[in-house]
Amino acid sequence: MRYLAVAIAALLATSSAQAAPATRIPDKALATAAQLREQALADNTGWKVVESLTTEVGPRLAGSEADARAVAWAKAKFEQLGFDKVWTEPVTFPKWERRGEKAEVIGPHAQPLKVTALGGSPGGTVEGEVVRFADLAALKAAPEGSLKGKIAFVDYQMVKARDGKDYGNGGAIRSRAPSEAIRKGAVGFVMRSAGTDSHRVPHTGITRFDDGLAPVPAAALSVPDANQLARLVERGPTRIRLSLDCGWDGTATSYNVIGEITGREKPKEVVVIGGHLDSWDLGTGAIDDGAGVGITMAAGHLIGQLKQAPKRTIRVVAFANEEQGLYGGKAYAEAHGRTADDLKLHQIGAESDFGAGRIYAFNTGSPAPEGSREATRQIAEALAPLGIEYAPDKGGPGPDIGPIAAKGGAWAWLAQDGTDYFDLHHTADDTLDKIDPKALAQNVAAYAVFAYLAAEADGGFGSEAKPTVPPSE
Amino acid sequence: MRYLAVAIAALLATSSAQAAPATRIPDKALATAAQLREQALADNTGWKVVESLTTEVGPRLAGSEADARAVAWAKAKFEQLGFDKVWTEPVTFPKWERRGEKAEVIGPHAQPLKVTALGGSPGGTVEGEVVRFADLAALKAAPEGSLKGKIAFVDYQMVKARDGKDYGNGGAIRSRAPSEAIRKGAVGFVMRSAGTDSHRVPHTGITRFDDGLAPVPAAALSVPDANQLARLVERGPTRIRLSLDCGWDGTATSYNVIGEITGREKPKEVVVIGGHLDSWDLGTGAIDDGAGVGITMAAGHLIGQLKQAPKRTIRVVAFANEEQGLYGGKAYAEAHGRTADDLKLHQIGAESDFGAGRIYAFNTGSPAPEGSREATRQIAEALAPLGIEYAPDKGGPGPDIGPIAAKGGAWAWLAQDGTDYFDLHHTADDTLDKIDPKALAQNVAAYAVFAYLAAEADGGFGSEAKPTVPPSE
């Protein structure tokens, strides 16, 4: 029965392949990839790159002086690592700055609280009674005007998961709850950090305010501080004072920094891998996303060291300002994915931006995936010795690959174990010591194998221009 | 052979007992203690006390407004818990304040560093090249004048241990290295925190400056920041700027807060247990030392709930200002241990001040311990079901019992598992969520059993006035 089922599946695969010529990876490339995989596992280039970026540049908020240093660092690093072509592409965005932040309980239980402003928050000092909500739905259900003169506190505790799925809830509170609170009359907003740790390190991250609303100071409490505030609110009316010195200040221009290993046969067709170069300002941006930069720079470097260049070009992108709205990814899609002709040159893309945990699953996707399923399976087979399983019909593009994928670009998903990611994400604790060099090397091996094989494939992964989505009514 | 050895030991014990009448615990008291132990394990008074102190008062630096609130809190809590007598005794000390602190690497690798001023540091802003030393010995070995205009950085990494033994090294650096650095010409001092965690939460703690030296700003870097600074120094000359706003400001008076369960037969003879009420200002003083206050208040309370009061008085002390120099313990010893007559009333004392981990060992000590060994063994046997072993010839008095022990007071040692203690000690992370309620209840059970049995003993534990130690030549 089992063999019969396999035979039928094979027949179906063949018939599908006859309808659209199936992409396949040549055996010789698979043999080279196996060597590349072992070599990458024994190599520490990825670690050295993250160590260099997080130590020499440190925190690098988009648009800051340190961000400019990071751009210079990335160019120099690509060159040191022997990339064939290195260049920058400008990315312009509104500039937000954090200068200071403070919060305290006032009254009979006076004490300081550890907070951090959400990115995009205005500055200002507000004081008021705290009204606690268990989650976003509870805040939404509050009567109009019920928060007049008060400070809303959304107290949702994120749950750990390998795929970080509860960030859906935590992230939604961060981006949408401040506007909800303003609509109910609140003069300020605090939330339990979208995090899974138990340290006094609040988690920042971008928020936004709906059009027509006057923004109010919005901040995240560390998890222990949220516990504390919840206990105080349970005892009786509790007032806090929130003082943020931060805000928008004109525009800034940073750069996507790009390095290429030129393809030997189809140099204009590119496999894109990358991470984002900017970080929040609280930590040194090790897991978010020095790791992604290190993993993909090292993967490109190792492919560049092969005796023979791959068939297509490997393009490594250190994206600008991912944190505040995917500005680098959007600029990249605009520059390299605008037309159907652009998309024909986009073989496939993948971003590493979920920490430095081991990769456990792989898949690809595109508007026309039928012809590339066998090649995807072949790549998954080459990744299997790294403990990575093929996960058909799962995953999606990384954040900065999202904009080009939305236009029709094929993407690959190399799923990292994010169990501990939200212990550190967007906090002061995002530092180099949180990266396991062996896990990082596994990531480098996976990216090197994937990028090399995708570049060597006979055929594509289904990139094609998507019809423009008509505006919804 | 085994039985013979036991018989000989018993004979020897008997002969020793004949020389000095041996203290023994009556069987009835042992039976009551067994009930008390089980009751304490099922009781959450200790937890509720720590929750109340850390939530309602929060951080309570000695001499601060919050410290005064803590004193009022402790009096009210003793009363709520049904202690027979509650009073305060004044403790006066120099007052130190922390108002702000900041450090940054300057130059091509500019970035902020997380620091906290050491208690006792003066304020001021200093800037200079960092000179790194692996430990205190390396700093001591530096040539005279070699640190002129520079900032000394002692980079010793404390090692975890159940008994916290490496705090000997970490604490010695904190208290002695600033003076060593000044003698070599340094304008500022930073150290890797005396801690075993990997978070951006620097560890404060008191330092002191030798007479005749002009104090300089002295701070601790978080462990990740120390790693970062060490990497930068390894790359080449590294300058930092350290700005501390803190310092001594006159004197303050706080209070030892004392609650008693009056003894039924010998009310003037006291078993003293306690913790310290003050905390550093960074966390909410949960493990240091809300736990000790909660454990001993709860133990006293549970003994107070017995049908019959113990033979001697149980005295629970919430000591003032332990952190900056054992001021509460010294004042207590001066008030209650000054004369030979005082010491006759001091049955025995123990302080809980090593976190909230489970107790694993027990012992007692005194100037004349011979007669109390059997009673100590009996108490250990009553503690054994809690996973506590008798550790003859080990241990010593807790910090605030130290001063009365130095005068000749008997002490008990209830050794807590401190494996994780230095992850949290003196940091912002010392918060309620770090306490395991079950481990706390085990502590309460142990203190209740020990204090009750020591109060019920037929005989004492060897307190007697020690001859004054002649001043060394």
Test B231 with A51 for CB contact under 8 angstroms: yes
Chain A neighbors of B290, CB-CB under 8 A: none
Judge whether residue A260 has pLDDT over 70: yes
Single-letter code of the amino acid located at A439: A
Residues 6+ apart with CB under 8 A from A462: A365, A366, A367, A368, A369, A370, A371, A372, A410
Q: Assign B425 to helix, strand or coil.
A: coil
Chain B neighbors of A67, CB-CB under 8 A: none
Task: Categorise residue B408: left if φ over 0, alpha if ψ from -120 to 50, beta otherwise.
Answer: left
User: Which tens digits make up the pLDDT trace of B418-430?
Assistant: 999 999 999 999 9
CA distance A422 to A156: 14
The ipTM, to two decimals, is 0.94
In the block, tokens 């900065």 appear at A400
Structure tokens at B100: 């702000």
Residues 6+ apart with CB under 8 A from B432: A224, A227, A228, B50, B51, B54, B55, B284, B286, B290
User: Which tens digits make up the pLDDT trace of A216-230?
Assistant: 999 999 999 999 999
CA distance A25 to A454: 8
Question: Which residues make beta-bridge pairs with B239?
Answer: B106, B129
In this complex, is the C-beta atom of A181 within 8 Å of any C-beta atom belonging to chain B?
Answer: no
pLDDT-derived band of residue B18, with 50, 70 and 90 as boundaries?
Answer: very low
- Closest partner residue to A201 (CB to CB) among B69, B108, B200 is B200
Helices (H), A252-408: 291-304, 327-336, 340-345, 373-383, 402-407
Q: Can you give the pLDDT at residue B8?
A: 41
Angle B17-B19-B25 (CA atoms, 0-180°, nearest 5)? 25
- Closest partner residue to B200 (CB to CB) among A58, A109, A428 is A428
Question: Which residues make beta-bridge pairs with B314?
Answer: B261, B271
In this complex, is the C-beta atom of B309 within 8 Å of any C-beta atom belonging to chain A?
Answer: no
Burial class (CB in 10 A: 0-12, 13-18, 19+), B120: buried
> How many CB atoms lie under 10 A from the CB of residue A398?
27
Residue A257 to residues A68, A191, B10, B441: CA-CA distances in angstroms?
11, 35, 82, 57
In this complex, is the C-beta atom of A107 within 8 Å of any C-beta atom belonging to chain B?
Answer: no
In this complex, is the C-beta atom of B105 within 8 Å of any C-beta atom belonging to chain A?
Answer: yes
Judge whether residue A473 has pLDDT over 60: no
- Closest partner residue to B433 (CB to CB) among A58, A201, A227 is A227
CA distance A424 to A196: 8
Cβ A269 vs Cβ A458: under 8 Å: no
- Nearest CA to CA, how far is A1 from chain B (Å)? 55
Test B59 with A231 for CB contact under 8 angstroms: no
Q: Can you give the pLDDT at residue B473?
A: 36
Cβ A450 vs Cβ A376: under 8 Å: no
CA distance A453 to A378: 9
Q: Can you give the pLDDT at residue A17?
A: 40
In this complex, is the C-beta atom of B459 within 8 Å of any C-beta atom belonging to chain A?
Answer: no
CA distance A422 to A463: 32
In this complex, is the C-beta atom of A104 within 8 Å of any C-beta atom belonging to chain B?
Answer: no
Q: Can you give the pLDDT at residue B389?
A: 98
Residues 6+ apart with CB under 8 A from B12: none
User: Which tens digits make up the pLDDT trace of B385-416?
Assistant: 999 999 999 999 999 999 999 999 999 999 99
Radius of gyration of chain B (CA): 24
Residues 6+ apart with CB under 8 A from B356: B50, B286, B287, B291, B295, B416, B434, B435, B436, B439, B440, B443
CA distance B330 to B332: 5
Chain A neighbors of B228, CB-CB under 8 A: 54-55, 58, 284, 431-432
In this complex, is the C-beta atom of A235 within 8 Å of any C-beta atom belonging to chain B?
Answer: yes
Give the residue, B469 or A294, on which the prediction is more confident.
A294
User: Which tens digits make up the pLDDT trace of A9-33?
Assistant: 444 444 444 456 899 999 999 999 9
Q: Can you give the pLDDT at residue A2?
A: 38
Test B198 with A433 for CB contact under 8 angstroms: yes
Q: Can you give the pLDDT at residue B3?
A: 39
Cβ B295 vs Cβ B440: under 8 Å: yes
- Count of all residues that appear for chain A in the document: 473
